[in-house]
Chains A and B, each alone.
Chain A
Amino acid sequence: MSKELLHIENASIGYGQKVVLDALNLSLKSDELTVLLGPNGSGKSTLIRSISGVQKLLGGRVCLKDIDLTDYQTKKLAQEISLVLTDNLAPGNLSVFALVALGRFPYTSWLGSLSQADEEVIQWAIQSAGVEEFANRQLGELSDGEKQKVMIARALAQEADLMILDEPTAHLDSPNRIEIFHLLKTLTKHNDKAILISTHDIETALRYADRLWLVVEDRVVTGIPEDLVLQGELEEAFKAENVSFDYQKGTFYRSIATQNKGVNLSGNPVLVHWLGHALERNGFHVTQSAALKICAEGTKEAPLMRIDGVDNSYETIEKLLLELTNEES
């Protein structure tokens, strides 16, 4: 059963005189993965800093478990909110275990010695984050994606009900990014945690978010990702000159069709997709009504493409494109 963990009442955030976002009314529920999505420089980091208590609000309030954030002591707050940041500054000659153990900081005595219970929490965190295979290694030997997973394990060891991640995947490649989001998704489902993650990666956000906080100019709209897409909020949030949102594919694109060259594609859907992809880059646009018809048969390993009215077949898209451009000139 999901319950409200954090709510933001009429908050305004920013630096000194400069208000970045105001009149914010938002809430976070446990067992939900909330993604804060917005373009670069939209105030995502400021919002994250304000929620995690690093930065003071300019107005309004943030309540965690019905207690105002400013009423928490540093140590108590660390038991409620854990943080993962973009940059990984951890020294290379620290073992994974030792790093995850640092997460027990708000619980251990002044000497920092670990009790049996602490050790068990650390082991649990290492397993939950899926880093047990390199628990004995030094951080310096790990890849960026693995390091970030270790940082998440450390945040888990903090045993906080709310985990906030500020662009944790900014330096990671696609498979690692998906891996991290998948991990976070699993954690919300199995551990009754609320997770807030900020990113500017639209595709992953749409795929994994239970709920979006979408920064649209100076307001933050919330909802299920698909609803926000259909309401046009996503397009509004990331709008830029000449760039538009493809509601079929769920991606932003900038049309590069130079002249009005239509092409009608049919056949194997996978081939049609990638053929359309290549043709669009070369100035064509795919439409049913076009006179130029291309039929793509065969499998993705062995494609066989024909242009209507041409007595030839092509086994790679490159050869087909060559033919089309030859025809043009």
Chain B
Amino acid sequence: MTPLQSTNIVNKKRIGLLLFGVAMLFILDLALGSVKIELLELIKILFGQEVENQAWQNIVLKIRLPRSITAVLAGGALALGGLQMQTLFRNPLAGPSILGITSGASLGVAAVMLASGSAATAFAIKNLGIGGSWLIVLASTLGAFLVLLVILAISYKISDNVVMLIVGIMVANITIAVVSIWQYFSNPEQIQEYILWTFGSLGGVTNDQLAILVLVVGIGTVATFALSKSLNVLLLGEKYAQSMGLNVRRSRLMIIFTTSLLAGAITGFCGPIGFVGIAVPHLTRSLLNTSDHKILVPTNLLMGAGLLLLCDIISQVPGSSSVLPVNAITAMIGSPIVIWVIVKRRNLKSSF
């Protein structure tokens, strides 16, 4: 009766494999780092048992666990944002940063860090430290939200998705220009702080911030899953979608809002992590050879989480005490993977 059965089984296997892979990477991410922790001990710590080495317990529970969870959330959220943007705009180059959400967040952060001459902000930043600062999170979320409001206001007037995409890119450019002018008139020390933020960091999220991040990403994920039916008809283009009974304008608003929520929150807490959002959807579509969002939503979540976990492991350079900026690693590790998959499968173009 259901002709899709055979592909369903294949895909179920792949999804199972993916889930297993993410779990393995999660454990590895916890185990590896500047201090090597034995697997058995690690599992004991995770299950709340006492271990001899108190320091290990602290490292795992207070530093590595929040960090790994952040990697999972950030990877998943950015991948979902990218998937939605690529489907909405029917464009393989779209990503969560395309509508200026990331640059809006950057503007917020720049406003805090570069507000030159203001003793209060300089003091606040010195006290709170890069990345972990509530002020920065607040500023970047506010920045992302403001840009989002502008985009939503314009989107209400425009009924064409491609025009919308161009407007989004333009708004992003204006935001970047503002930041650039701001940097030009700032002190070198202030610029340095800002640039450090742009490198991205998964380690800056504290335990109580993590609760908020879990909540926001959770809401975003549920919303994306609820939107998957609409995303599926949008695959045929707006005209067909409307003729099949989709309220295109409302769906677009919800898609943009969900993406902003996901990408805005992650950028606020972790800095502008590039690449994951644009690459993971291609990777998933290519590997599973499907455009069905009911499959793509959960798999993108997993794939994004897995990729960022892998990048995090590498960025910590196991066995050494140095840490590389995660933003550089995502592109350096991710790009060859994506190129390899796309060249091997040769089915990217058929998705659009």
Contact = CB atoms under 8 A, between A and B. Distances in A.
Asked if A and B are interacting partners, one says yes
Interface of A: 52, 54, 74-79, 81-83, 85, 87, 89-95, 97-99, 102-103, 105-106, 108, 110-112, 119, 123, 135-136, 138-140, 158
A82 B242 CA distance: 10
Contacts of B350: 91-93, 138-140
B291 A81 contact: no
5 contacts: A83-B239, A89-B235, A89-B236, A97-B2, A105-B229
B228 A112 contact: yes
Contacts of A95: 3-4, 7
Contact of A136 (B3, B229, B243): B3
Given A52-B243, A102-B244, A112 B294 contact: yes
A85 B241 CA distance: 12
A268 to B, nearest CB: 50
Contact of A102 (B2, B90, B232, B352): B232
B243 A79 contact: no
A79 B245 contact: yes
B291 A74 contact: no
Given A75-B245, A85-B240, A119 B229 contact: no
A93 B285 contact: yes
B34 to A, nearest CB: 43
Contacts of A105: 229, 233, 244-246
B289 interface: yes
A99 B239 CA distance: 15
Contacts of B243: 52, 54, 78, 81-83
Nearest to B2: A119
A37 B242 CA distance: 25
B247 interface: yes
Contacts of B352: 91
A103 B244 contact: yes
A138 B83 CA distance: 21
Interface of B: 1-4, 6-7, 90, 226, 228-229, 232-233, 235-237, 239-240, 242-247, 285, 289-292, 294, 347, 349-352
A135 B289 CA distance: 16
B12 to A, nearest CB: 16
A102 B245 contact: no
Contacts of A108: 229
The winner among B226, B243, B285 for most chain A CB atoms within 10 A is: B243
B245 A111 contact: no
Contact of B90 (A83, A89, A106): A89
A95 B3 CA distance: 9
A105 B349 CA distance: 26
A149 to B, nearest CB: 15
Given A85-B239, A123-B1, 13 more contacts: A91-B291, A91-B350, A91-B352, A93-B285, A93-B289, A93-B347, A94-B291, A95-B7, A98-B4, A98-B290, A102-B235, A102-B236, A139-B350
Nearest to B237: A89
A139 B236 CA distance: 12
A9 to B, nearest CB: 23
B215 to A, nearest CB: 22
Contacts of A139: 350
Nearest to A79: B245
A119 B1 contact: yes
Contacts of B226: 110-111
A90 B235 contact: yes
Contact of B290 (A75, A79, A94): A94
Residue of B226, B292, B352 with highest tally of chain A CB at under 10 A: B292
Nearest to B227: A110
Contacts of B237: 87, 89
A90 B289 contact: no
A102 B233 contact: yes
A143 to B, nearest CB: 14
Contact of B4 (A77, A85, A97): A97
Contacts of B290: 93-94, 98
Contacts of B236: 89-90, 99, 102
A109 B292 CA distance: 16
Contacts of B228: 111-112
| Residue picked from A87, A99, A102, A136, most chain B C-beta under 10 Å | A102
Nearest to A137: B3
Nearest to B349: A92
Contacts of B90: 89
A97 B3 contact: yes
A111 B229 contact: yes
Contacts of A106: 244-245
B89 to A, nearest CB: 13
A98 to B, nearest CB: 6
A43 B170 CA distance: 34
Contact of B245 (A78, A98, A119): A78
Contacts of A111: 226, 228-229
Contacts of A52: 243
